Structure 1
Amino acid sequence: MTLLTVERIKLFSTRSPWWCMILATVLTVGFTSLIAATTSSNDVADLTPDVTQFGYNFGLVVMMVMATLAVTTEYRFGTIRSTFLAVPTRTPALVAKLVVVATLAAVVGELTGVGSWGIARLIQPDAPLGLNTAQEYRGVFGVGLVYLLAAVFAMAIGLIVRQSAGAIVIELIYVLLVENLLPVIPRVGDHIQHWLPFIASNNFVVAGAPRHTDGPPVIDDMPLGPWGSLLYFAAVCFGLFLIGTILARRRDA
Structure 2
Amino acid sequence: MNLLRAERIKLFSTRAPWWCALIAVAAPIAFTALFLGLSGAEITADVSNTQLATSTGRTVALVLAVLAATADFSWGTLRLTFQAVPTRTPALLAKGAVVCAVCAVLGLLAGVGSWGMAHLVRPDADLSLHSGADWRIVFGQILTFALTGLLGVGVGLLLRSSALALAIVLVWTQLVEGLVLLIPKIGSDLYQWMPFYAASQFAGGDFTRTTLKLSPPFGPWGYLAYFAAISAVLFAAGVATANRRDA
Alignment partner of 1:246 is 2:236: no
- Cα distance in structure 1, aligned partners of 2:23 and 2:42: 29
Runs of 4+ in 1 over 4 A off after TM superposition: none
Which is further off, 132-141 or 100-109?
Answer: 132-141
Deviation at 1:144, TM superposition (A): 1.4
- Cα distance in structure 2, aligned partners of 1:137 and 1:85: 45
Residue in 2 that maps onto 1:225: 219
Q: Deviations over 1:6-33 (max 9, x none)?
A: 1111112211111111111111111111
- Cα distance in structure 2, aligned partners of 1:134 and 1:43: 27
Structure 1 vs Structure 2 CA RMSD = 1.3
- Cα distance in structure 1, aligned partners of 2:151 and 2:112: 23
Higher helix share: 2
Q: 2:229 aligns with which of 215, 235, 252?
A: 235
Residue in 2 that maps onto 1:167: 165
Alignment partner of 1:26 is 2:26: yes
- Cα distance in structure 2, aligned partners of 1:89 and 1:246: 12
- Cα distance in structure 1, aligned partners of 2:185 and 2:87: 47
Q: Retained in 1: the 8 A contact 2:107–2:143? A: yes
Residue in 2 that maps onto 1:194: 192
- Cα distance in structure 2, aligned partners of 1:177 and 1:36: 26
Q: Retained in 1: the 8 A contact 2:202–2:224? A: yes
Q: Retained in 2: the 8 A contact 1:28–1:116? A: yes
Q: Deviations over 1:75-134 (max 9, x none)?
A: 011111001111112110010011111110010111010010011102221012111222
Question: Which runs of no fewer than 5 residues in structure 2 stay unpaired?
Answer: none
- Cα distance in structure 1, aligned partners of 2:96 and 2:106: 15
- Cα distance in structure 2, aligned partners of 1:185 and 1:24: 31
Residue in 1 that maps onto 2:130: 132
- Cα distance in structure 1, aligned partners of 2:125 and 2:10: 44
TM-score (norm: length of structure 1): 0.92
Deviation at 1:188, TM superposition (A): 2.3
- Cα distance in structure 1, aligned partners of 2:67 and 2:189: 33
Q: Deviations over 1:49-84 (max 9, x none)?
A: 111111111111111111111111110111110011
Residues 34-73 of structure 1 correspond to what in structure 2 (within 5 A)?
34-40=34-40, 42-43=41-42, 46-73=44-71
- Cα distance in structure 2, aligned partners of 1:120 and 1:217: 17
Residue in 2 that maps onto 1:152: 150
Question: Which runs of no fewer than 5 residues in structure 1 stay unpaired?
Answer: 207-214
Deviation at 1:245, TM superposition (A): 0.7
- Cα distance in structure 2, aligned partners of 1:165 and 1:205: 29
- Alignment length, in residue pairs? 243
Q: Retained in 2: the 8 A contact 1:107–1:144? A: yes
Q: AA paired with 2:149?
A: A
Alignment partner of 1:4 is 2:15: no
- Cα distance in structure 2, aligned partners of 1:13 and 1:240: 26
Q: AA paired with 1:91?
A: T
Q: AA paired with 2:20?
A: C
- Cα distance in structure 1, aligned partners of 2:67 and 2:163: 9
Residues 70-219 of structure 1 correspond to what in structure 2 (within 5 A)?
70-206=68-204, 215-219=205-209
Q: Retained in 2: the 8 A contact 1:203–1:218? A: no
- Cα distance in structure 1, aligned partners of 2:46 and 2:84: 51
Secondary structure at the aligned position of 2:127 is classed as: coil
Cα separation, partners in 2 of 1:89 and 1:200, compared to 1, 3 Å: same
Residue in 1 that maps onto 2:13: 13
Deviation at 1:192, TM superposition (A): 2.0
Deviation at 1:178, TM superposition (A): 1.1
- Cα distance in structure 1, aligned partners of 2:194 and 2:25: 26
